[in-house]
Amino acid sequence: MKNRRQKFGEQGEALAARHLKKAGYKIIETNYRTRLGEIDIIAKDKDTIAFVEVKTRSSVHFGSPKWAVTPQKQKKISMVALYYLKATDQSTARARFDVVAVISNRDKPQVEIIKNAFELAYE
């Protein structure tokens, strides 16, 4: 059974996926999990594979959700992305890391897609 926080995160991810589709992305996978970690959304944006981290907040009281993708989180996402590319025989594919920031207030959620939000981090 999922707690309130998990359900809130899932709602943010679903909203992010809808906005990505509207922006022309083709969703390949959601919640891609390995022993190394998880990537929220893997999508195709034209000829580029986008590894997308979704951050959802109910307000900006503690700052924009886009700033919550820490260097440690970037490293984990990078490792999972490299694993995915190798496992799917796409090691030479164009790829990037995007972040979708969702502020889910009751009136009208705000969704921001940040392309190329960070570089590959593996050190």
35-69 pLDDT, tens per residue? 999 999 999 999 999 999 999 887 777 777 888 89
pLDDT of residue 38: 96
Structure confidence at residue 123 (pLDDT): 62
Any domain includes 123:
no
- Compute the distance between CA of residue 61 and CA of residue 29 in angstroms, rounded to an integer: 31
pLDDT one-digit tens code per residue, 80-106: 999 999 999 999 999 999 999 999 876
Domain count, the chain: 1
CATH number at residue 108: 3.40.1350.10
Q: What is the pTM of this model?
A: 0.92
30, part of any domain: yes
Q: Which domain holds residue 53?
A: 4-118
**How far is Cα 7 from Cα 74, in angstroms, rounded to an integer?**
23
